[in-house]
Amino acid sequence: MGAEGQFQQSAAVKVASSPVVEVLDVVKQYRVRHEKGRTLKEAFLRQRIYQETINALDHVTFDIHPGKTMGVIGRNGSGKSTLLKLIAGTSRPTSGEVKVNGRVSALLELGAGFHPDFSGRENVFLDGAIMGLSRRTVEERFDEIVAFAEMEEFIDAPAKTYSSGMYMRLAFSVAVSVDPDIILIDEVFAVGDESFQRKCLERIDQFKSDGKTIVFVSHSLDAVRSLCDQAVWLDRGALRAQGGVDKVTDYYLWAVNEGDEKRLSADEGTHEDQQRWGTRRGEVIEVGLFGEAEENKHIFDTGDSFRVRVAYRSREEIEEPVIGLAIYRSDGVLCYGCNTSEMDRTPDKFKGEGEVWFEIDDLSLLPGDYQISVAFHNLEQTETYDHHDRKYRFKVLNGPKIEIGLCHLSHTWRGWQSGEE
Amino acid sequence: MGGGEKPLMYSDLKQLAEYRELLRTLVSKDIRSRYKGSVLGFAWNFAIPVLQLLVFWLLFGIIVKVKLEGAYPYAVFLFTGLLPWNFLANSIIGGSVSIVGNANLVKKIYFPLQILPATTVISQFISLLLGMIVLAVVILVFGIGLSGYLLLLPLVFLVQLVFAAGLAYLFGCANVFFRDVQHILGILVMAWMYVTPVLYPMSQVADRTADKYPWATTLMHLNPMTGIITAYQQIILDHQPPDWPWFGYSAIVAVVLFVASFSMFNHFKFRFEEEV
């Protein structure tokens, strides 16, 4: 009896540790055509001219174990959505294999099965059937679905009378009512208002605590960090990194900071993300621009006094913190950058709140629009705590009349009058 | 088409059975959405065949008098052939766009795609059955009467269902890769109707061509729809059994076509997501 129990236990452990999703050396090629909707004539005459193949995924291999939450990061067109489609089963790899053990629910296209002429009630059943729920299951969960969507009042009105927020809320409700083993989420957090978004996140947390496996694709590193234990980074279809979420996102950020993927921050993400990244172990909480005396000044003249105050804090102890500052002209030219490591005394360790001042007595920049980046990182620059990229703006209006260029350089002219004498 | 393909088609058919609940939901959505928002609603399913019959009766019974040998008016003959013909035509044309018209589902949600053409065909088949109810009333009204051969009708339904499904899968798949298909089909289906005894009885073809072209009826029977449509007319109007050899031929063509196009469809379905 005891031995049998032991055997069962070890078998259970073995089952639990075998991956629920296995992606084995997967290649997915797409034929790209210049015009969609192929006709017979094209098929016979122009096929070769118009077709080229791209590798949306290029020899990608990784596993997801049960109960893990896997983040997929990478910029647009890096193959993230293709990967989700392969796991969801709507697409098949060109070569390699995707093994999925369990029921998948994809929160990819919410409300794909909705019909605008039908009532919300009918659509719940229709969408549920498409998501693989039996009619009886939908009946059982119907009240729960409607309550979660906060749609009790409108459930019998035709879906075409719904606002887009209502539509998405109901669709999200149906999607999360499926009782899946594996949940695929592709940035559906733009659903509804803030309180509904919070409910969605709570629901996802509940999935996590229920031991469901989640694959989460997002542009928001913050969201990936807060939700996921593990991450993979796809770069133009290739697997660039995989492992613990901190390791992978740090590496990703490091690559960003190195300028390895310069366009990345410009290409994608929300406005907020695009201008801010970092591990947030230390945070820049406020950046203010000052003149001689006035606060929050944004317009200066060449030669003015120019001061920047950076307030920062750290909730945990961080080593050798450094605050860096860079000034860019609006066309992206880096005018100047430096950091606090040039100060005589910098702390070895830091925890708490503080501020530093960057002061110029005689602003030498010539008229133009400028932006300031502030970075909070460690001395070796191996970890960026918080980077505010070109988030703060100011203008230089009046400068010396005859000077052109980026900035005033101290100079004298000599030799003109001595020529004829 | 060797033994190797058999298990493949088996699993694809089994999947269809496993997802029958989705199939049922989609069919019911298709039927209910067809006349959604109209005042008559579901009653249109009966109103359309009735109005169609009324037009035939006015045109061929009152205005241009067309007489047939049998004991029934031409309008009733026409209606008997046109009901199953419309089922076929709508299945082909609806089936051809069943994949490209559902791009949203095909791209985003995993489910066996063989459900989509099946949905179209079954929903059209239900329309046929509703039309048959109207036909039954008409038959009784015109005093044509019923016969025991009507028990054979389900067999004719089955053969036509298999044949229509075969074509729906064929063109549904082909249209994904060549969008020309959906445009050319309208013309082809119309031409096909003219060589099928829908508008005229097969007996007239035999009478007029027997001397000069004895092979003409054989040629017409090679069209598998000839055997099916005449079976409807013989069973319902003439109280006769179908012309077994030709009906059998139609049944064989239907099964072979279905096996071939269902297999082809399932072979290519994994590429649909990229093409729609």
Chain B residues whose CB is inside 8 A of the A112 CB are 104-105, 108-109
At residue B7, the pLDDT reads 59
Inter-chain residue contact B22 with A109, CB threshold 8 Å: no
Instruction: List pLDDT tens digits, range A150-190.
Output: 899 999 998 889 887 888 888 888 888 887 888 888 865 55
> Max CA-CA distance within chain B?
61
Other beta carbons within 10 Å of A328 = 19
Identify which has the larger pLDDT, A269 or B26: B26
What is the sign, positive or negative, of the torsion defined by CA atoms of B54, B57, B58, B59?
A: positive
User: The domain A16-103+218-274 is classified under which CATH number: 3.10.580.10, 2.30.140.10, 3.40.50.300, 3.40.50.970?
Assistant: 3.40.50.300
pLDDT number for residue B195: 93
* Most confident segment among A21-30, A249-258, A336-345, B87-96: B87-96
Strand order in the sheet with A306-319: A282-290, A306-319, A349-360
Set of chain B residues whose Cβ sits within 8 Å of the Cβ of A125:
25
Domain limits, CATH 2.70.50.60, in chain A: 278-396
Q: Is residue B214 part of a domain?
A: yes
Query: Rounded to a whole number, what is the distance in Å from the CA of A214 to chain B's nearest CA?
Result: 17
**Chain A residues within an 8 Å CB radius of B270:** 91-92
Assigned domain for B225 exists? yes
What's the pLDDT at A17? 66
Q: Tens digits of per-residue pLDDT, A101-129?
A: 888 887 766 777 788 888 899 889 988 88
Residue A416, helix vs strand vs coil: coil
User: Distance between CA B19 and CA B13 in Å, rounded?
Assistant: 10
* Per-residue DSSP letter, B63: I
For every residue of B222-255, DSSP letters joined together read HSHHHHHHHHHHHHHTS-----HHHHHHHHHHHH
Nearest CA of chain A to the CA of B220: how many Å?
Answer: 30
pLDDT of B241: 94
Does residue B37 form part of some domain? no
Number of domains in chain B: 1
Average of per-residue pLDDT values in chain A:
81
B181: distance to nearest CA of chain A, Å? 9
Closest Cα in chain A, distance from residue B21 (Å): 7
First to last CA, chain B: 27
Q: In a mutagenesis test of the A interface, which of B97, B108, B185, B266 is the best target, namely the one with the most A β-carbons within 10 Å?
A: B108
Percentage of residues of chain A with pLDDT beyond 70: 84
Residues of B with CB under 8 A from a CB of A: 21-22, 25-26, 29, 32-33, 36-37, 104-111, 177-180, 270, 273-274
Q: How far is CA B89 from CA B82, B83, B92, B130, B246, in A?
A: 10, 10, 5, 16, 21
Q: How many CB atoms neighbour CB B57 within 10 A?
A: 18
Containing domain of residue B65, as a range? 3-32+42-275
**Measured between CB atoms, which of A30, A91, A109 is closest to B104?**
A109
Strands A104-107 and A182-186: parallel
CATH no. for A278-396: 2.70.50.60
Q: Which residues of B touch A90 (CB under 8 A)?
A: 106-110, 273
Res B45: pLDDT: 85
Least confident of A196-200, A318-322, B43-47, B160-164: A196-200
What dihedral angle (degrees, nearest 10) is formed by the CA atoms of A392, A398, A399, A403? Answer: 110
- Per DSSP, the residues of A220-281 read -HHHHHHH-SEEEEEETTEEEEEEEHHHHHHHHHHHHHTTTTHHHHHHSS-HHHHHEES--S
Residue type, A7: F
In this prediction, residues A260-269 reach a mean pLDDT of 39
**ipTM rounded to 2 decimals:** 0.76
Flag residues of chain B having pLDDT under 50: 1-5
Q: Where in chain A is the domain with CATH 3.40.50.300?
A: 16-103+218-274
The answer as to whether B162 is a domain residue is: yes
| Main-chain dihedrals φ then ψ at residue A23, nearest 5 degrees | -110, 115
pLDDT (0 to 100) of residue A202: 84
